Amino acid sequence: MTISIELGLDTFGDVTAAPDGGLLPHAQVIRDVVAQAELADAVGLDFFGVGEHHRADFAVSSPETLLAAVAGRTRRIRLGSAVTVLSSDDPVRVFQRFATLQAVSNGRAEVILGRGSFTESFPLFGYDLAQYETLFEEKLELFAALLTGGPVTWQGRTRAPLTEQRVFPSLETPLTTWIGVGGSPNSVVRAAHYDMPLMLAIIGGDPGRFRPYADLSRRAYAQAGRPVRPIGVHSPGYVAATDAAAREELFPDYKRMRDRIGAERGWPPMTREEFEQEADHGSLYVGSPETVARKIAATVRMLGLSRFQLKYSAGPLPHDRLMRGIELYGIRVAPLVRALLA
């Protein structure tokens, strides 16, 4: 049986290395991300996602604005967030921004809604982390109501109520809305409750450990009496000409990123052995086109996926290497994955 799969790319706009060994300014990184998205479209990929962060090591804090620029310079690729931190934003404004992106892209916009594994946006926008769960639950409820297109009446504890409120611009075509999940069964069931596809963020360990979440999602849709919606996966990786080249090129910058974040969260520094373990048996898709394709195809079959999104940027990994990796992913990895799944 042939499995149909969409293949995409994600980036958080990691601040990359300059030719002199320093770091590029945020403005240049943002312009480089636009160029990376253009290339992803040119090599035939299905999706390009940009994540939202509010910290010095990631340049993108407004994915919709960047994606609107990309929309004017691409033709077919779908464009979305990866992820939008709904908990610390206003659902009405999120809807309006993505409805605008949907219009300027001629229906190519998507949004992946999540609670966010980074919490800098909460104090920045004046939200209490003690309300972490409540904020997401209530705002998702309101966002789902906005997607229906009619006047909205809603009341909760985290924002002002709405009564028969119209919100503009109106959607010309439906806005694909995913729920991003990092490992919570409740979030998996929540996606089915709102009839939204599920995006699993698998950033470490054996991807097979997420099989129960994929199975739970399908059971939840069946119990709700709805057709099963797509399941996608977002995982990190890097493609180069050979396995050895990919690992040698990626490791130093991947370690810098991992150790920087790990220092904030109490993780020990990453060893080369841990990196190799993730590359061999975990959720790091690094290697030659053939190696990466085989690993993606195995994950697609194991979890029953409809989409796989590779987080192709990693810390200061330079722009020229990112561009080469995107080209290899589109021209060589994508056809190989589809052939393996045929």
DSSP bridge pairs for 163: none
The mean pLDDT value for 239-253 works out to 98
pLDDT higher at 184 or 300: 300
pLDDT at position 20: 92
Binning pLDDT at 50, 70 and 90, where does residue 124 land? very high
Q: For residue 1, is pLDDT > 80?
A: no
Distance CA(29)–CA(16), nearest Å, equals: 7
pLDDT at position 312: 98
Block residue for tokens 């080249």: 245
Block residue for tokens 């979030």: 187
> For residue range 142-192, what is the model confidence (pLDDT) as tens digits?
999 999 999 999 999 999 999 999 999 999 999 999 999 987 888 999 999
Question: How high is the mean pLDDT of the chain?
Answer: 96
User: Would the CA dihedral through 8, 13, 15, 17 be positive or negative?
Assistant: positive
Domains and CATH numbers, the chain: 6-341 (3.20.20.30)
Count CB neighbours of 62 within 10 A. 13
Residue from 242, 342, 243 nearest 300 by CA? 342
Distance CA(78)–CA(317), nearest Å, equals: 25
Residues counted in the chain: 342
pLDDT cut 70: percent of the chain above it: 100
pLDDT at position 101: 98
